[in-house]
Chain A
């Protein structure tokens, strides 16, 4: 009985880190907001004690008044610091997939409530140390982007996030932990590559190897890690902050199969997946219709963003670690 109570208590789950991620919107109940004085808070307390002793020693009435007013300010600041976090709604939006090595952009939404302003809230991703300070204006939902570095493909759960504030006076530090049920899909780090080699005797090879080389400029799109620097639209980059890549339209009729079997048998799993990811990007860039074959997984010939995403997801989750 006691054991089950302990298990159920938030403290225990916080202590052991066993609580499951929370779905949807998390409201920071006041029981999960912790508060302690900061070093400045202790300094403030020591100063008040000195003022008190001085007031007693010299029998200064207004000295008492000052000391006690400051003590009241300290108490009020404590309540306000806790309130700055308490009952705030925290939710996390969908994070766009990224390639391993890039930072996953988790969008955290902070909703202060009606008419409540919550300045200077720090969000820190505990596992990576990614952090951000935001002000939540009244009646508004603030969006904070936590850029969490990634290393491996697969699903990256957001994990535990600490929210902290020291507003208004910096004398107290209130914090709380949330573990929203949010995750980001991490694609394998794409290897920069050309088209897969056309292998003789295999219908799965590239039917048209020259797909990438077409000269017809088709437009610009966002830069991806796998893009060749030669194709970066440097002039456009100079005009704006975004990296853009020039896209050339190849033969629309190009069709190819990206096949696991085409990869050298000596390569490791991750290396193969990286190579395949590079092929997917190259094929997509070339505007080709392509399919993908992995052991046990086959994606039919297709083209377009959705297809690319499906292929990359299959690669990300293939025998996911």
Chain B
């Protein structure tokens, strides 16, 4: 515009200690959650850079030269390369952002640089959401946002008190909420991703996998993390019926059970059954395409497919939290479909493993007349076997099933189901291992069932002629308490149970239920808001089958109304008129109230003189008001003291 330095331009304004403090506070809040995720040396380096800048601000030294910073940046990038063999990807990207924040702080001189760091903070906030979007994280990041916005206000009002700037920041955020809500609900959502994602983009976890090797792991972690939550409409099924079906394992090589190939089949709802449950599942991301359903599913979620062995699979791996609706019937007739190839597969066993178990099974076969009798013998044998349930079983050798059944006699569901299916197959009864979750915690607050990774379970299905695939839970048969108990499973002595899951702390449990209920609401209403939910919302307000055009129109209408409201609200109490004119009109109003109307064409001087004559008690005041008004209205300047006097006189004028 001109060559004159602009005192409001950010590049003209030097950063003060106060600005630096605000930025560092914001950075510490947004970087803290990353500190544990980044390599230790990066965290240490970034903290050192922050400390260096703070020290320079305190001691008043000059900032390091550009070359020194470039050298640090190059060395750090080389370190990252050595660590990750790439500079892209999620974690390396975050590490780079952290480094830049420290380096930029060290070359920050003006408010322009400072604003760049504030923007960098926004990116550091969103990278936190890659890992967790929990309520505490959201609250911490909101606090950081307030700090950043208040600091930015401080850049633009250096003379103002910090508290006033903080208040302005809070007002800005509060005023942003309605528009943000409208955008969140109505901004046309696109199902991502828009392009290929880095290899490490997701970090979902699952307690289940495509394979199961009983005895390979000598210890199973009791993970407290949530696998999914199920919200039932009406009644929820009792604990012992809550079998959430997941992958089915068919192929055994003596050591490991594997899924093998699964065949997509047309979905056929199970026959019969009266215990019908309708529910909605909010599934945490787990990187696989499995969807979990209460056995037996009577409907499929939208877009999902069904395999011949009764699994429900999503069209793509579940990489973000998803929701789906289902109906299940817990007492339906068993699935009787089975082709011969499938039954052959359900009998296949590796040669040369576990001779004792094989012999036992063949003995049952010889002594029984039917598959059903073999099954009954097996269950009876398991009950009497005295095998203990433990989450810390001893490691097993080559003949893992023999060792488990006859020597160590201790294990958890994987051992039980593996051994049981082996025995069935060895006795000539088709059988397979089903994995999934069993049970789940019913929250009395909102009646949502939370299923955790620690509820992962494996059971068996055997095929009986005339009946079909029957569910048998060998773990429950051997250790009945394992399934019936509402208490923590596997609470063998010496196993560390997460604090909030301990059965002995009643109040903690209650607290946890409240928290879980809140977290579920958060998941459903905030975190899994998706195109589907958006359409549901639109049809709820009477626009069925809304597409992006409807949404955009609705969005802009609401945003426009909000902006108008905001403008009106922010201008409240501010008159567009001249205060002198306003005071004069107040004066005329007061005179009119006592019967003195200004005649058309009557000048202010004449009018005030007439008023003074007819209201002798207030004569002096009226005179002065007229005098001031004339001077202020027609004079060249308007001394504020006189404007204030006029306003005060009119305000204090009492005519009655």
Contacts and interface: CB of A to CB of B under 8 A. Distances in A.
B574 A129 contact: no
Contact of B129 (A60, A82, A135): A60
B578 A59 contact: no
Contacts of A53: 194
B168 A55 contact: no
Contacts of B177: 69, 72
Contact of B636 (A23, A60, A124): A23
B242 interface: no
B8 A120 contact: yes
A38 B156 CA distance: 13
Q: Which of A25, A62, A79 has the most CB of B within 10 A?
A: A62
B527 A61 contact: yes
B511 interface: no
Nearest to A135: B159
A25 B579 contact: yes
Interface stretch (A111-119, A285-293, A309-317): A111-119
Q: Which of B177, B181, B190, B638 has the most CB of A within 10 A?
A: B638
Interface string B135-152: 001100100010001001
Contact of A168 (B111, B172, B579): B172
A23 B581 CA distance: 13
Contacts of A129: 2, 4
Interface residues of B, number: 89
Contact of A24 (B111, B141, B528, B632): B632
A72 B122 contact: no
B175 interface: yes
Interface string B149-183: 10011011111100010001101110111111101
Interface stretch (A91-99, A209-217, A272-280): A91-99
A43 interface: yes
Given A57-B192, A71-B183, A113-B574, A169 B563 contact: no
A91 B637 contact: yes
B115 interface: yes
Interface string A145-175: 0000000000000000000111111100100
Contacts, number: 243
A113 B576 CA distance: 11
A89 B579 contact: yes
Interface residues of A, number: 75
B184 interface: yes
Contact of B172 (A62, A82, A86, A169): A169
Contact of A72 (B176, B189, B321, B634): B176
B125 interface: yes
Interface of A: 23-27, 29-30, 38, 40, 43-44, 47, 50-51, 53-73, 75-77, 79-80, 82-83, 86-87, 89, 91-94, 109, 111, 113-117, 119-120, 122, 124, 129, 131, 133, 135, 141, 164-170, 173, 181-182
Given A75-B179, A164-B8, 4 more contacts: A44-B119, A59-B319, A72-B176, A86-B571
22 contacts: A24-B580, A24-B637, A25-B578, A38-B10, A47-B123, A58-B192, A61-B527, A62-B129, A62-B526, A63-B126, A68-B187, A73-B175, A75-B566, A76-B171, A86-B571, A92-B637, A93-B639, A111-B579, A113-B574, A119-B157, A168-B169, A170-B155
A-B pairs with lowest CB-CB distance, top 10: A72-B176, A72-B179, A68-B183, A76-B175, A87-B574, A141-B640, A72-B180, A119-B157, A68-B180, A91-B638
